[in-house]
Structure 1
Amino acid sequence: MTLSIIVLGLVTVQRLGELVLANHNTRQLMARGGVETGAGHYPIIVILHAAWLAGLWLLAWDRPTNLPLLTIFIALQLARVWVIATLGDRWTTRIITLPGADLVRRGPYRFVSHPNYLVVAAEIAVLPLTFGLVGFAVLFSILNAAVLWVRIRSEGRALVSASEDVLGTPMV
Structure 2
Amino acid sequence: MLEMNDWFVVVMIGVILQRGMELSIAKKHTEWIRSRGGYEEGRGHYPLLVIIHLFLFIGLFVEVTIFRVTPPFWWPVPFLVFLIAQGFRIWCIRSLGPYWNTRIMVIPGHQPVVRGPYRFLRHPNYWVVITEILTLPVMFGAYVTATITSLFNLWVLFKVRIPTEEKALATAMLYGKETGSLEGDET
TM-score (norm 2): 0.84
Task: Check if 1:155 corresponds to 2:165.
Answer: yes
Identity of aligned residues (%): 40
Structure 1: where are the runs of 5+ without partners?
Answer: none
Counterpart Cα distance in 2 of 1:27 and 1:54: 31
Counterpart Cα distance in 2 of 1:6 and 1:50: 18
Counterpart Cα distance in 2 of 1:59 and 1:88: 37
Counterpart Cα distance in 2 of 1:31 and 1:107: 25
Task: Check if 1:166 corresponds to 2:175.
Answer: no
Q: Which structure has the larger Rg?
A: 2
Structure 2: where are the runs of 5+ without partners?
Answer: 181-187
RMSD: 1.7
TM-score (norm 1): 0.91
For 1:11-160, list aligned pairs within 5 A. 11-60=15-64, 63-64=70-71, 66-149=75-158, 150-160=160-170
Counterpart Cα distance in 2 of 1:167 and 1:15: 37
Counterpart Cα distance in 2 of 1:113 and 1:81: 16
Residue 6 (structure 1) aligns with: 10
Alpha-carbon distance change, 25 to 167 in structure 1, aligned in 2, over 3 angstroms:
closer
Deviation at 1:26, TM superposition (A): 0.9
Deviation at 1:58, TM superposition (A): 3.0
> Deviation string for 1:121-140 (max 9, x for gaps)?
11111111111122221111
Counterpart Cα distance in 2 of 1:161 and 1:141: 30
SS state at 1:10 partner: helix
> Deviation string for 1:64-105 (max 9, x for gaps)?
471221111100100011001111111111000011112111
